[in-house]
Structure 1
Amino acid sequence: MTRLRGQDAAIEAFLSASAGGTIHHAWLLAGPQGIGKASFARTVALRLLAEGMTPGALPPGLSVPDTHQAAHLFAAGTHPDYRELRRLPKKDSGKGGSDEELARSITIDQVRGLGPFLGTAPSMSPRRVIVMDAADDLERPGASNALLKNLEEPPAGTVFLLVSHAPGRLLPTIRSRCRVLRFDPLGDADMAAVLRDVMPDADEVEIAALVRAGGGSPGRAMGYAGLDLAGIDTALTAIGRDGDPANARRAGLAKVLSPKAAQARYEAFLDRVPTVIAQMAAMRHGEDLRRALDAYDEARGIAAAARGLSLDAQGTVYELAGVVARLAPRP
């Protein structure tokens, strides 16, 4: 499985907690979205299942050899002692493939569907594992209450791994029955390493731009892949440094980002403008800092309105670039 990067503290905490051979039956994997919590959950699930099949035969840590029977079954999605709950594709989305529109929540029927799985003995070892990605998506109150019942009376050998981007949204009674394992945003070096692993053809300029945009979340950064984020950042930085007295740079950006075919880049632009302004603000003082902070608030408002009200893309790009241009040093 993919190497887990940047979460050594969480890995060490889990290994320490499980060193005695007894493992808490429910874990809440808490932290920002896109930093590897689900990957950690699946890695731990495979390790627990493999350990149950061949006690004492695995190397230290969380890894499982690809030749292990549990690894084959897990990769094929056919391990009889593993279940994963997540939002399902909408029946009427009609799109197919990886871009199917997903349901709004994990339903009560999905959680109740665990009944037969939990009502019989595990097939290949004393253990079985359930991953929920993400528990924040549970339908309330039905699915949450159904899960709570399972957490209150778990069958022996069952381990729940609940991924959560916002633990505060979960029922307090669910949180109270889980051991919390916290995950932090990745540092720049680990971010770059993850992105190089999954994007071996990307050049260093793109990797650096994605690291800046990701804010410690490889998942978020990969959402910008292929959008020439470096080009957007370079254009905004130049406008903020030199201004745009002839309006040519703003007009050029608006022309490039406004067509329907550029929708994904336009969305990335809306995200990047406030962030680039915040980076500029971090290097300013006094009146220049105040102007930058005001520009940050203004840019966030424009970007939010552009999404919520479906404002004209060309006009929005021009207006946001103008906010950046006003930050150029004054004569």
Structure 2
Amino acid sequence: MCSKIAGNLKQQDFFKRVIASGRLSHSYIFSGISGIGKRMFACELARSLFCRNGSYFTECSCSSCMQVKAGTYPDLYIYGGNELKVENIRQISESAGMTGLASKWKVFILDEAEKLSNSAQIVAGNAFLKTLEEPGEDCLFLLITSKYEMIMPTIRSRCSVVDFAPLSESDMNNILSNIRPDMDNMADIIKVSGGSVERALMIDDLKIGSLINEIESRNFKKFTDFVLNCNDIQIIKSVMEFIYPAALEKYKTTGIYSYCAYGEYILEMLKRLNYNINIDLAKHDFVSKTYEVFSERI
């Protein structure tokens, strides 16, 4: 099912110009971090092509647009990463060679397209490459990824790349206020979510704020279990960004220098996590340092 998009105005303007000029390519890669609306944008682009009223990226209630929104339009094919297998790629190839059922366009959206490069799905990737080399008439392939570098080079070379930036704080606030109006610490979560709605929702679900309270109460079990079992570097960074102001506040109220040094440690770790470091060692070091500082008796 497709929903209304938010943000990504540059991408909207780009495709409006391309469609109006008749220069729409047959394949694009939508690249950017997860949770910023790439799949929604792909659905909206498809809806714009199918729209009976020519409403590009604007609301419309024609029968085609309503079918797209309901996920029932016959010429729109959407596949998730785990569905990118040989049998489905063959189905895509067959459908691409057929005449559209309701429109001259046939749009294929492949989410998590980097999974075509997995060793278990490499056969599917090679099969899809053949489809890209000989696309059917009026076919549009939209490959979505948050790991562009993992997509097969031969597939990348046959697609135009459209980069998607993280959402602005204003867009994030509008979206989260609509889908989760009761979110605690929304402004703080937006600041550390990196412009990703998906990440903001994960942070809220994990109640990172409560982790900070437990650390300050010298109850480290929940914090330790969470950090050591978390494999999302961005979430780990979000925890650090939440703890940082708490450490500085402790320094201001107690005058104990170790809290200030801990704040500097957090800033250094945030820099290091942007590079290729051993994440497991970094997590254990983070837990150890946090315990060492916050377990001090005042």
SS across alignment from 1:181: strand
2:12 partner letter: I
Larger helix percent: 2
The Cα shift of 1:320 comes to 5.4
Q: Distance in 1 between matches of 2:263 and 2:286?
A: 18
SS across alignment from 2:22: coil
Q: Paired residue for 1:216?
A: 195
Contact 2:5 2:40 in 1 (8 A): yes
Contact 2:49 2:105 in 1 (8 A): yes
Q: Distance in 2 between matches of 1:149 and 1:302?
A: 38
Q: Paired residue for 1:274?
A: 240
Q: Paired residue for 1:321?
A: 290
Q: Distance in 1 between matches of 2:208 and 2:148?
A: 31
Q: Distance in 2 between matches of 1:179 and 1:192?
A: 31
Q: Distance in 2 between matches of 1:302 and 1:234?
A: 28
Contact 2:193 2:238 in 1 (8 A): no
Q: Does 1:168 align with 2:118?
A: no
Contact 1:277 1:324 in 2 (8 A): no
Q: Distance in 2 between matches of 1:114 and 1:128?
A: 10
Q: Paired residue for 2:31?
A: 30
What is the correspondence of 1:115-126 to structure 2 with a 5 Å cutoff? 115-126=93-104
Q: Paired residue for 1:250?
A: 218
Q: Distance in 2 between matches of 1:201 and 1:187?
A: 20
Q: Paired residue for 1:185?
A: 166
The Cα shift of 1:123 comes to 1.0
> Would the alpha carbon gap of residues 258 and 30 (structure 1) be closer, same or farther in structure 2, given more than 3 Å must change?
closer
Q: Paired residue for 1:114?
A: 92
The Cα shift of 1:318 comes to 7.1
What is the correspondence of 1:268-307 to structure 2 with a 5 Å cutoff? 272-276=238-242, 292-295=263-266, 297=269, 304=280
Q: Does 1:87 align with 2:65?
A: no
Q: Paired residue for 1:71?
A: 65
The Cα shift of 1:68 comes to 1.5
The Cα shift of 1:321 comes to 3.4
Per-residue CA deviation, residues 96-115 of structure 1 (Å, 9 max, x unaligned), is xxxxxxxxx72222211213
1:47 partner letter: S
1:322 partner letter: Y
The Cα shift of 1:17 comes to 2.1
2:144 partner letter: V
**Unpaired stretches in structure 1, ≥5 consecutive residues:** 89-104, 240-248
> Would the alpha carbon gap of residues 234 and 288 (structure 1) be closer, same or farther in structure 2, given more than 3 Å must change?
closer
> Would the alpha carbon gap of residues 123 and 169 (structure 1) be closer, same or farther in structure 2, given more than 3 Å must change?
same
Q: Paired residue for 2:106?
A: 128
* TM-score between the two structures when normalised by the length of structure 1: 0.70
Q: Distance in 2 between matches of 1:291 and 1:46?
A: 51
The Cα shift of 1:81 comes to 0.8
SS across alignment from 2:21: coil
Question: What RMSD in Å do the two structures reach over aligned CA positions?
Answer: 3.9
The Cα shift of 1:208 comes to 1.6
1:190 partner letter: D
Q: Distance in 2 between matches of 1:276 and 1:302?
A: 22
SS across alignment from 1:4: coil
1:195 partner letter: L
Per-residue CA deviation, residues 109-137 of structure 1 (Å, 9 max, x unaligned), is 22112133123211112111000002112
Q: Paired residue for 1:156?
A: 137
Q: Distance in 2 between matches of 1:111 and 1:306?
A: 40
Q: Paired residue for 1:62?
A: 57
Q: Distance in 2 between matches of 1:170 and 1:303?
A: 23
The Cα shift of 1:290 comes to 7.1
Contact 1:33 1:165 in 2 (8 A): yes
> Would the alpha carbon gap of residues 271 and 48 (structure 1) be closer, same or farther in structure 2, given more than 3 Å must change?
same
SS across alignment from 1:44: helix
Contact 2:114 2:152 in 1 (8 A): no
Q: Paired residue for 1:49?
A: 50
Q: Distance in 1 between matches of 2:248 and 2:162?
A: 32
Q: Distance in 2 between matches of 1:78 and 1:291?
A: 54
